[in-house]
Structure 1
Amino acid sequence: MDLFEAYRLIVEAAAAGADVRSLADDFNRALAGEPLRADFADVARQLAEGARQAAFFNTVLAAVAFAIVGAVAFLLYRYRKIIIGWLWLKIWGSGRLRRGPGSPSTLLFDEEVLAVVAAVAVVAVALAVAITLRPGVGEPFSALGLLGPGGKIGGYPEEVERGQPVLLHVYVYNHMGKPVWFVVYVKIDNSTAEPPLPSPPVITLQRLLLHNESWVAPFTIAFNATGRQRLVLELWAYYPNGTLAYTGRWNQLWVRVK
């Protein structure tokens, strides 16, 4: 199966609410050179269909719960005087109740106040249902970082020998609200131009990341020219239609090569 088709199926299944972690693992192994499992498409479609059915069931269940809450609220409001009187008799069963000449002064009998309370309750329930069915992601973004030889911030080399291998790490984080196929281009140049640079990458790293997932990958690079050189990392991402686009995220490291 084509990787772009597999990627599209993963994105569609995730959008339906399916757990696509196993599919993502298979996809990343395929990026490393392994073949995709023969039933990948069938599994992806089954997961998507199961998620859609579960979402429909949850929607119906939420609608029923909302209707029940509304009906109970209406009945409590409609028969509030009877209910309060019944509770009063239960508590003070040995006493006597006599209707007085005054008008009710408690908020429980104030129709305007009760109408406002009922409206607020309906809105609160509706918001709770909406959040439960479709939790928000917030502002989508991705992040790119360059880490040192130990896989942490710091310890970057300032001076290296020409041709000497240098171990570094790339860090990528996905908060886009969906699975994203990221591509990191590692480039070398000695200019101060802002990426994306026209020069071809010397190393290409790629990974499919699920929402709220991060990735740290080591890579080794050697500088073949002396003088002040710049190591540049550019973060690109594939769309499900196969288009590769620059995300605007980049990082750099200046070194002196002897």
Structure 2
Amino acid sequence: MDLLEAYRAIVDAARAGADVRPLAEMFNKALAGGSLEPGFGELAARLAAEARWESLVSTALALAALAAAAAGLLLLYRRRREVIGFLWLLVWRRGLLKHGGGRPRTLLFDEEVSAVAAAVVVVGVALAVALLLRPAVAEPFSALGLLGPEGRIGGYPTNISAGVPVRLFIYVHNHEGEPRWYVVYIKIAGAGGEPPLPSPPVLRIERLLLHNESWVQPFSVSFNSTGRQRLVAELWAVYPNGTLAYTGRFVQLWVNVK
């Protein structure tokens, strides 16, 4: 199994609701130069199947509970006279209540209200089902940041010597609702030009991040040309269909190289 197939298996298992942290750990080890374990594909398929079954059972139980609650409310409404009478007797204990003759004059005993109550129950069940099936992430996004030599915001170098390595940190956060395979291109350029820059990267950093997971990675680069230069970090993503696309996120740092 190659990395793209493994990535697809991770995304599929995550979409099914499986805990894919062990798969992500094995995948990132392979990205770092290792190799995928022989049973990776079987483990991913098993986790996905188990998650789908658990989701099916949970949904069925939730729908059954909602249906039972709706049926109970409807039954309670239909037997409202007996229930109210019982409660009245329980509190006051002054004898039996008898149904009066003629047409009821209150909403409490209006048969037309039963149709309204049934409609309210149906709408409530529909809303509950929609909440169960709604997407987990309303506004997905990816975030990219550049941290200073100490691994935090601030303290960025402004004057450096040509050929001397500069240590910085890259920060990436995934809030896309599913695992994402990120690729960060580190490029060095002069003035002008909006990312993505056509120049080749001097460094490529990649990592698979789960939903709501952050990643901080140190890196070092050297500037070989003097003058005013900029370091640009571009955030790209590999998608399950195999496309490597620019996310539109970038950060840059201007420095004076002597």
Whether TM-score is above 0.5 comes out as yes
What is the alpha-carbon distance in structure 2 between the residues aligned to residue 106 and residue 198 of structure 1? 77
State the match for 1:232 in structure 2.
232
Which residue number corresponds to residue 11 of structure 2?
Answer: 11
Unaligned runs of 5+ in 2: none
Residue type of the partner of 1:29? K
The residue number in structure 1 matching 2:63 is 63
The answer on whether the counterparts of 1:58 and 1:133 sit within 8 Å (CA) in structure 2 is no
Equivalent pair of 2:74/2:117 in contact (CA under 8 Å): no
Match of 2:158 in 1: 158
Q: 1:173·1:213 contact (CA, 8 Å) conserved in 2?
A: yes
Q: 2:248 maps to what in 1? A: 248
Say which SS state the counterpart of residue 154 (structure 1) adopts. coil
Distance in 1 between residues matched to 2:132 and 2:4, nearest whole Å = 31
Tell me the SS of whatever aligns to 1:249. strand
For 2:26 and 2:136, the matched residues in 1 are separated by 27
Q: Is the 8 A contact 1:17 1:51 kept in 2?
A: yes
Q: State the Cα distance separating 1:93 from its structure 2 match.
A: 1.7
Match in the other structure for 1:77: 77
Residue 173 of structure 1, CA deviation? 0.8
Tell me, yes or no, if the aligned pair for 2:67 and 2:125 is still in contact at 8 Å.
Answer: no
Question: How far does residue 94 in structure 1 lie from its aligned partner after superposition?
Answer: 3.4
CA 1:178–1:99 in 2, change beyond 3 Å: closer, same or farther? closer
Unaligned runs of 5+ in 1: none
Task: State the identity as a percent.
Answer: 63
- Give the structure 1 partner of residue 21 of structure 2: 21
TM superposition score normalised by structure 2: 0.92
Is the alpha carbon distance of 1:135 and 1:106 closer, same or farther for their aligned partners in structure 2, counting shifts above 3 Å?
farther
Matching residue of 1:91: 91
Q: Is the 8 A contact 1:9 1:41 kept in 2?
A: yes
1:186-221 residue CA offsets vs partner (Å, 9 max, x unmatched): 000002200111111001000001111111111111
In the TM superposition, what is the alpha-carbon distance from 1:63 to its structure 2 partner?
A: 2.0
Corresponding residue for residue 220 of structure 1: 220
1:158, CA displacement in angstroms? 0.8
Per mean C-alpha deviation after superposition, the further-off stretch among 183-192 and 80-89 is 80-89
RMSD of equivalent CA atoms: 2.0
C-alpha distance in 1, partners of 2:91/2:102? Answer: 23
SS of alignment partner, residue 188 of structure 1: strand
Shift of 1:43: 0.2
Q: Which runs of 4+ in 1 moved over 2 A?
A: 94-136
Q: How many residues align?
A: 258
